[in-house]
Amino acid sequence: MKNLSEELLVKPGSTPKLHKIDPSGTHGWGSKTAAAKQFQKNLDLLSVNQYRLYAENRRALLIVLQGIDAGGKDGTVRHVMAGFNPQGASVTSFKVPAGEEKQHDYLWRVHKAVPKFGEIGIFNRSHYEDVLVVRVHNLVPAHVWKKRYDQINNFEQMLHENGVHIVKFFLYIDRDEQKRRFEARIEDSAKNWKFSPADIEERKFWNDYTKAFEEAMEKCSKPWAPWYVIPANKKWFRNLAVSEVLVRTLEDMNLKYPKPAEGLDKLKFE
Ligand code: ADP
């Protein structure tokens, strides 16, 4: 099997060029059926590893999901979460800061949502919004958001050094695919609540978002918190690719069940 983790990794220190990556790419996976089989296997492996993480209770896994609108963050959460026991996993969706969030620094709400030891946390959007939407729409001056890359790196390094393993995914679709998905949302009564006319406005900023994503990944893909670009036009490949990287990440953590209590083998039951 190809090593998708290595192929999709934004190598620390490199500059990702999104126009050189094919959002419909499948990295040698020719058929949806073969991919679906591997995906199911991966879900089983995720489940086993989550149980070890829970039993060990000393480290956590934080999964960051970012993407352009309609990139498939919700779908990825739904599919990948199927591999996890909800007792020990959480999803946090970050919206426009409101209430108390607005009265704190931008990392405050993020730090509060970091998963506990033994658990897995998924961020549907994250602190990266503060160098993406905030940058694209000039919500703070440039000299403020430019400092955030270092701040984010320091924050993530601190988490890693204290047991929180981090993996970050950029779900990459192209403009045509976004258009198709928006149209599908408008037509489907079960989905049109997801569509807002503001989405059309955001589309105009496509190039600015591309630049902002590239810079965020260039500056913040680190050995302790790597970024992966997931070609996401094909949902079946997206699900497979995310699951492959997660399996690899958890296996690299070398999770072990704690040692049993001493004398357990000599216990006798009446
Ligand atoms: P989603 O698109 O994630 O399903 P929404 O439609 O509610 O959910 O969109 C959430 C919105 O919140 C997005 O437009 C996103 O850019 C915005 N957002 C998230 N974090 C921030 C932030 N820190 N500052 C400004 N806007 C943010």
Which one, of 188, 180, 179, 172, lies nearest residue 233 by Cα?
172
Left, alpha or beta for 72 (phi > 0: left; psi -120 to 50: alpha)? left
Continuous segment of H or E residues that includes residue 159: helix 148-161
Q: Which of 129, 135, 193, 200 to mutate to test the pocket of ligand 1 (most atoms within 8 A of CB)?
A: 129
Atom of ligand 1 nearest to the CA of 198: 14
Greatest distance between any 2 Cα atoms in the chain = 74
* Residue 217, both tokens: 């990944």
**DSSP three-state, residue 74:** helix
Indicate if ligand 1 lies below 6 Å from the C-beta of 133: yes
Residue 24: pLDDT band by 50, 70, 90 thresholds? very high
State the residue for tokens 């999803």.
Answer: 91
Share of the chain above pLDDT 90, in %: 90
Average pLDDT, the chain: 96
Kindly report the protein residue whose alpha carbon is nearest to atom 7 of ligand 1. Answer: 95
Kindly report the protein residue whose alpha carbon is nearest to atom 11 of ligand 1. Answer: 95
Kindly report the protein residue whose alpha carbon is nearest to atom 9 of ligand 1. Answer: 95
Cβ distance 172 to 10 under 8 Å? no
* Residue 17, both tokens: 């060029």
What average pLDDT does this structure show over 125-130?
98
Answer yes or no: is pLDDT of 269 > 70.
Answer: yes
Indicate if ligand 1 lies below 6 Å from the C-beta of 125: yes
CA of 266 to the centre of ligand 1 (A): 57
Answer yes or no: is pLDDT of 2 > 70.
Answer: no
Using CA of residue 221, residue 227, residue 228, residue 232, what is the dihedral sign?
negative
Continuous segment of H or E residues that includes residue 250: helix 235-252
What is the predicted pLDDT for the residue at 1?
45
DSSP-derived pairing of the beta strands 120-124 and 164-172: unpaired
Residue-wise pLDDT tens digits, 194-210: 888 899 999 999 999 99
CA of 126 to the centre of ligand 1 (A): 9
The terminus-to-terminus CA distance of the chain in angstroms comes to 51
State the residue for tokens 């993406």.
Answer: 132
Amino acid at 143: H
CA of 49 to the centre of ligand 1 (A): 31
Instruction: Give Cα separations from 262 to 18, 129, 228, 252, 266 (angstroms).
Output: 55, 49, 43, 28, 9
Residue-wise pLDDT tens digits, 222-265: 999 999 999 999 999 999 999 999 999 999 999 999 998 888 88
Whether this prediction's pTM lies above 0.85 is answered by yes
- How many CB atoms neighbour CB 197 within 10 A? 6
Answer yes or no: is pLDDT of 122 > 50.
Answer: yes
What is the predicted pLDDT for the residue at 265?
81
Residue-wise pLDDT tens digits, 83-120: 999 999 999 999 999 999 999 999 999 999 999 999 99
Answer yes or no: is pLDDT of 9 > 60.
Answer: yes
